[in-house]
Chain A
Amino acid sequence: MTQTTTAAGPEAQDRLQAHFDGVIAHDRRIEPRDWMPDAYRGTLVRQIAQHAHSEIIGMQPEGAWITRAPSLRRKAILFAKVQDEAGHGLYLYAAAETLGVDRADLTRRLIEGRQKYSSIFNYPTLSFADVGVIGWLVDGAAICNQVPLCRSSFGPYARAMVRICKEESFHQRQGYELLLTMMRGTAAQRAMVQDAVDRWWWPSLMMFGPPDEASPNSARSMGWKIKRHSNDELRQRFVDMTVPQAEKLGVTLPDPELRWNPERGRHDFGTPDWDELKRVISGNGPCNEERVERRRRAHEDGAWVRRAAAAHAKKQAARQEAAREAGQDAGHTGTGSGADGRETR
């Protein structure tokens, strides 16, 4: 499905580029079979793959609490939430595959540490309050990041984001409700919530990436309308959104510099520890090894299932083929009939 630029002569090349630029300038969408510059394709593959990996790895910190959820209600909610994150990963891998890459290959690159995922998932979940804080802050930050991506210039990515954003609101609300419940509980429960907020606040701000001046590719992505807002702008939006929610909840955000600035009409806030972000991104966060190792094990442990299913499918197909050659009706294999009830074969 991919098209390369090599076949076209220089004039044809200019025409293709001009058409592409026009589509971007008019805020229309690029679709998979359209011509696109190699760098645009490469940037998208990297960004969508990283995004997909983040959803998949992101199942682990919360997934660790499924078996220890304090009630059946919380367990069912957490299960559904983690399952959604698996779905988000799959929507995004599907979007990446429209660019001519292969999901199995992307998984390999993740496991081999050749592709990254969001730094936030390299922190441990120490108490059940972390589940609530992740829903509130981490999914909240993800919403800030993802809502503008619904208008991203690449059609499949934008459509995947629309689907994802519809589901994120449940994630954030279940987290906030969990925290409200704990805050109405004992002093020890309130302390757990505050402790979780203290640990997750700064890593949540780092989710938006390095500051604009240290993010050289940002401008190019914005020119292509893959990205719609700078890292710092999105971070600011997140802070402005979250401060009143923290007040209602009755927790303190661990930033002495955080205050309302009436001139700007926005909050001033402190600087995240960018060295920490660098450390965690480059593999030296508290849980990097554990996360990738767990993903690798799951992938390898599933290998026999994938092989068995493929072998079964092959056998079934051969049987159907043989039955067809023998002139029999193969419609009772359970695959069902085709579109509009017409028999497929």
Chain B
Amino acid sequence: MNQDWPLFEVFVRGKRGLNHVHVGSLHAADERMALTHARDLYTRRNEGVSIWVVRSSDITASTPDEKDPFFEPSGDKVYRHPTFYDIPDDVPHI
């Protein structure tokens, strides 16, 4: 039997109002152990109020290169950004 524990990715919410952020990974036998290990490893100084763990093998990722066609659909849509629109300087609050 394989005694090497699987790899988990750890996400920590630093404080209320923030998203969970990926902080690293660790090995654990199961999800519950991954959570307690994550607490001991990544939040020894109150770095978080909430932790997610997920098996690394369960993560689906885009391909790495930022020039990848995967992100192309958003590349040419400049009109999604507020700076695309010319508004006269004397219009307030916009």
Which residues of A approach B to under 8 Å, CB–CB?
19, 31, 33-35, 80, 83-84, 87, 90-91, 94-95, 97-98, 102-104, 156, 159-160, 163, 167, 303, 306-307, 309-314, 316-317, 334-336, 339
A-side contacts of B52, CB under 8 Å: 339
**B40 contact set on A, CB distance < 8 A:** 87
B7 touches A303 (CB 8 A): no
Q: Which of B23, B32, B44 contacts A335 (CB 8 A)?
A: B32
A34-B4 in contact (CB<8A)? no
Identify B64's interface contact among A34, A87, A303, CB under 8 A: A34
Q: Are B4 and A102 in contact (CB under 8 A)?
A: yes
Q: In the complex, how many residues of chain B place their beta carbon closer than 8 angstroms to a beta carbon of chain A?
A: 27
Of the candidates B2, B7, B35, the one whose C-beta lies within 8 Å of that of A336 is B35
B-side contacts of A94, CB under 8 Å: 24-26
List of B residues within 8 angstroms of A35 by Cβ? 64-65
Which residues of chain B are within 8 angstroms of A312 by Cβ–Cβ distance?
29-30
Q: Which residues of A are found within 8 Å of B29, using beta-carbon distances? A: 306, 309-310, 312-313
B59 nearest in chain A by CB position: A1
> How long is the Cα–Cα vector from A310 to B1 in the complex, in angstroms?
9
From known contacts A309-B29, A334-B32, infer whether A33 and B5 are also in contact, taking CB-CB under 8 Å: no
7 CB contacts below 8 A, A to B, read A33-B64, A34-B64, A35-B64, A35-B65, A306-B3, A310-B5, A339-B52
| Structural contact, B44 and A306, CB atoms closer than 8 A | no
Contact B5 A309 (CB under 8 A): yes
Does B61 sit at the interface, judged by CB under 8 A?
yes
- Whether B26 pairs with A90 at a CB distance below 8 angstroms is yes
Q: Which residue of chain A has the shortest Cβ distance to B9 in the bound complex?
A: A94
Across the interface, B30 reaches (CB within 8 A) one of A83, A90, A316, namely A316
- Interface of chain A, main secondary structure: helix
Q: How far is the CA of A94 from the CA of B64 in the complex (A)?
A: 19
What's the minimum C-beta distance from B60 to chain A, rounded to whole angstroms? Answer: 12
Residue of A nearest to B7 (CB): A97
Compute how far the CA of A303 lies from the CA of B3 in the bound complex, rounded to whole angstroms.
Answer: 8
Known A33-B63, A87-B41, A334-B32: A307·B3 in contact at CB below 8 Å: yes
A84 touches B44 (CB 8 A): yes
Q: Which 3 residue pairs across A and B have the least CB separation, nearest first?
A: A33-B64, A313-B30, A309-B29
Does B33 have its Cβ within 8 Å of any Cβ on chain A?
A: yes
Q: Chain B residues near A87 (CB, 8 Å)?
A: 40-41, 44
Do A31 and B64 have beta carbons less than 8 Å apart? Answer: yes
- Nearest CB on A from B26, distance (A): 6
Q: Closest residue to B61 on the A side, CB-wise? A: A33
Minimum CB–CB distance from A141 to chain B (whole Å) comes to 23
- Docked complex Cα distance between A19 and B25 (Å): 28
- A314 neighbours in B (Cβ, 8 Å): 1
Bound CA span A313–B20, Å:
26
For B41, the chain A residues whose CB sits under 8 A away are: 87, 90-91
Q: Which residues of A contact B5 (CB under 8 A)?
A: 306, 309-310, 313
